[in-house]
Chain A
């Protein structure tokens, strides 16, 4: 089998498998198909979503996911439980996807985290009172109220706005917000799965959330029938 980067030691101190996860691990070691199906149903869509942040097409992402599951099966007997099962699986998909991205001729993902964390301002600076004036740095006009997607049957449209906003993010921001806010991983699990520092994780998450909020603002403020009010 081709060697990919995932066969590394699980770093210590990153949580432990839950009792449910341990039961799944044991069942997989007994080659129980139902356990495999349960894992695929729990994480299959998430793995595809994460793989797509690294590689060019959905087809390649699907291959990455398939390779990931093979890696999980081949590695399960050696899984030492020094991280949660979920973190371990996300780490495998990240490493396979990164390897694949490099082979596709993309620059190594996350090789440019510095520029991703140091981009320009996220909100238009003109939304705040300029330098040297009274109330410098305060809102010129408050953010407008948002419509209620639930009430206005806008939920599926809001979903589309968020999907589009996340797709437009640079890879590091996209991967972090996907793991943290879509999949619900902790910051520690996310750092571990993506092999990035805690500081980078925080900055990337901040930038991603701010941009997604901005995309929603444009959409939901209109839905509420108003613009920002004067301060």
Chain B
């Protein structure tokens, strides 16, 4: 594939724009240049896929467990508040 190195999106630029791209925050023209680069660059395809996986893995940190002693303490706060009314 013929590439013009003076106007081509570089890998370095893609790394800098990766998060904004995934956020859908790139201007249309820049997004088009990035996607053109992506179609031809295995390294950047890997990079972006890994960024997506990173975001998904970060999301797995979320937990809802509240330790029973903390919940008991907060219930004390709640009951005092209800009582004060």
Q: CA separation between A128 and B85, bound complex, in Å? A: 65
Residue A120 interfacial (CB < 8 Å): no
Q: Are the CB atoms of A206 and B19 closer together than 8 Å?
A: yes
Which one, B54, B61, B62, contacts A216 given CB within 8 A?
A: B54
Residue A177 interfacial (CB < 8 Å): yes
Q: Are the CB atoms of A31 and B85 closer together than 8 Å?
A: yes
Residue A103 interfacial (CB < 8 Å): no
Q: CA separation between A123 and B36, bound complex, in Å? A: 23
Q: Are the CB atoms of A44 and B15 closer together than 8 Å?
A: no
Interface residues of A in 186-230 (CB under 8 A from B): 187, 202, 205-206, 209-210, 212-213, 216-217
Q: CA separation between A205 and B85, bound complex, in Å? A: 43
Interface string of B52-72 (1 = CB under 8 A from A): 011101111111111000110
CB distance from B42 to the nearest CB of A (A): 6
Please indicate the chain B residues that have their CB under 8 angstroms from the CB of A149 in the complex. 57
Residue A37 interfacial (CB < 8 Å): yes
Interface string of A58-71 (1 = CB under 8 A from B): 00001001100110
Q: Are the CB atoms of B54 and A209 closer together than 8 Å?
A: yes
Please indicate the chain A residues that have their CB under 8 angstroms from the CB of B77 in the complex. 66, 69-70, 73
Instruction: Given A128-B11, A216-B50, answer yes or no on A70-B81 (Cβ-Cβ < 8 Å).
Output: yes
Instruction: Given A202-B23, A202-B25, answer yes or no on A182-B58 (Cβ-Cβ < 8 Å).
Output: yes
Q: Are the CB atoms of A146 and B53 closer together than 8 Å?
A: yes
Interface string of A123-163 (1 = CB under 8 A from B): 10000100000111111001101100100000000110011
Q: Are the CB atoms of B57 and A205 closer together than 8 Å?
A: no
Q: Are the CB atoms of A143 and B5 closer together than 8 Å?
A: no
Q: Are the CB atoms of A45 and B18 closer together than 8 Å?
A: no
Which one, B18, B61, B73, B78, contacts A206 given CB within 8 A?
A: B18
Please indicate the chain B residues that have their CB under 8 angstroms from the CB of A231 in the complex. 43
Which one, A136, A142, A159, contacts B61 given CB within 8 A?
A: A159
Q: Are the CB atoms of A210 and B66 closer together than 8 Å?
A: no
Q: CA separation between A137 and B13, bound complex, in Å? A: 8
Q: Are the CB atoms of A212 and B58 closer together than 8 Å?
A: yes
Known: A45-B63, A182-B58. 19 other contacts (CB 8 A): A33-B79, A41-B66, A44-B70, A66-B77, A69-B74, A69-B77, A73-B81, A74-B81, A128-B10, A135-B5, A138-B10, A143-B46, A181-B58, A202-B25, A205-B19, A206-B18, A210-B18, A210-B19, A231-B43
Between-chain CB contacts (< 8 Å), 9 pairs = A45-B63, A66-B73, A70-B77, A73-B81, A182-B58, A182-B61, A182-B62, A206-B16, A231-B43
Taking Cβ atoms with an 8 Å cutoff, the residues of B that contact A are 5, 10-13, 15-16, 18-20, 23, 25, 41-44, 46-47, 50-51, 53-55, 57-66, 70-71, 73-75, 77-79, 81-82, 85
